[in-house]
């Protein structure tokens, strides 16, 4: 289990003198994974602890809260993925106006040297830090030379069309229902996690009982029907088909809800905090004339999802861990 640390004062002495990857890493997508892999290689070469430094909340949520980006991976999910990549700890530095006011030199002296006792710093080529973003890559490399740590800068990762892979692109793909594109850029199947809550139990009367999950309002996910993997807290994996949306056939003003029909399962899931891995987007949300038409479509959705899930393979070793439990 990866350690989640909210202050440098809580950093165990055994984790000092390590290799530290720095960034927001929202989504932990393939571009981020290039940075993280460079950190992992440096730590393996020199036998150092392997850590991530990230910031909570996202800096834009502090400076421009009305334009803060939707989170692809909230902090607990991000930590889970970083753990699957082999990191020992993530320091979730509280990002406040006071922290943002630190000069670039203070960031290096107080955080990297004094806090981490860092040996290697690994980050993206465009990393800036300190008040008014006064510190950049050249500043960081010079500071490393004078203060005794190594700096590794990683170039942007690009897709097959030579476009830079970014968190904002992935948010756009998810919101547009282009889940396959988003998953390709992530390098694993997009996933959400939430407690299973009680709903109106209509699905049970229709022959499709569902595990209902209320997702954060800002979740960047198109309303519609998805083939999914449902993962319980004990690691048990079940295939299913899920609807995310407002249920227009049965209600006029429903709040967005993720409702998963778990295949071949009969049990009580209420209260469990489960993960849902979204494998394929099947269709957009629709309003049907009556419940009979809705049920007929649900049967078609189930058949499509079963066929899709029977044929899937891991996108990557990380996806094998997250989606297949390998």
Q: What would the mean pLDDT of 38-57 be, rounded to a whole number?
A: 96
What percent of the chain lies above the pLDDT cut of 70? Answer: 95
pLDDT score for 299: 93
Q: Is residue 205 over pLDDT 70?
A: no
Q: Is residue 54 over pLDDT 80?
A: yes
Helix spans in 47-127 (H)? 59-63, 75-84, 97-100, 104-106
Q: How confident is the model over 246-262, as pLDDT tens digits?
A: 776 666 666 789 999 99
pLDDT score for 209: 84
pLDDT score for 201: 61
Per-residue confidence band for 84, with pLDDT thresholds at 50, 70 and 90: very high
Q: Is residue 200 over pLDDT 80?
A: no
Spatial strand order in the sheet of 211-213: 191-195, 273-284, 224-231, 237-245, 257-262, 211-213
pLDDT score for 202: 62
Whether the upstream peptide bond of residue 223 has omega within 30° of 0, thus cis, is: no
Cα angle: 78, vertex 194, 259; to 5 degrees? 130
Expressed in angstroms, the distance from the first to the final Cα of the chain is 16
Q: How would you classify residue 157: left for phi > 0, otherwise alpha for psi between -120 and 50, otherwise beta?
A: beta
Q: How confident is the model over 161-195, as pLDDT tens digits?
A: 778 899 999 999 999 999 999 999 999 999 999 99
């Amino acid at each position: 289990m990866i350690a989640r640390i909210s202050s440098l004062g809580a950093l165990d002495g055994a984790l000092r003198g390590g290799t530290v990857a720095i960034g927001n890493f929202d989504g932990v997508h393939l571009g981020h994974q290039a940075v993280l892999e460079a950190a992992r290689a440096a730590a393996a070469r020199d036998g150092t602890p392997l850590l991530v430094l990230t910031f909570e909340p996202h800096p834009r949520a502090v400076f421009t809260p009305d334009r803060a980006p939707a989170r692809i991976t909230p902090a607990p999910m991000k930590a889970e993925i970083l753990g699957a990549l082999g990191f020992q700890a993530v320091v979730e530095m509280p990002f406040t106006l006071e922290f943002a006011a630190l000069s670039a030199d203070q960031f290096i002296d107080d955080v990297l040297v004094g806090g981490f006792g860092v040996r290697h710093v690994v980050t993206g080529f465009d990393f800036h830090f300190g008040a008014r973003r006064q510190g950049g890559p050249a500043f960081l490399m010079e500071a490393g030379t004078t203060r005794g740590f190594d700096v590794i800068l990683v170039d942007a990762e690009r897709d097959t069309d030579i476009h830079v892979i970014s968190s904002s692109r992935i948010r756009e793909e998810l919101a547009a229902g282009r889940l396959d594109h988003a998953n390709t850029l992530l390098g694993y199947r997009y996933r959400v996690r939430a407690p299973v809550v009680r709903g109106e139990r209509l699905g049970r009367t229709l022959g499709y009982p569902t595990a209902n999950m209320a997702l954060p309002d800002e979740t960047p996910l198109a309303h519609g029907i998805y083939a999914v993997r449902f993962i319980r807290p004990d690691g048990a994996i079940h295939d299913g088909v899920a609807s995310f949306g407002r249920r227009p056939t049965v209600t006029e003003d429903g709040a967005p809800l993720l409702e998963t029909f778990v295949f071949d399962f009969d049990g009580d899931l209420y209260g469990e905090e489960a993960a849902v891995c979204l494998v394929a987007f099947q269709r957009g949300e629709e309003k049907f004339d009556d419940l009979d038409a809705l049920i007929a479509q649900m049967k078609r959705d189930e058949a499509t999802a079963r066929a899709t899930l029977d044929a899937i393979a891991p996108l990557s070793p990380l996806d094998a861990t997250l989606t297949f439990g390998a």
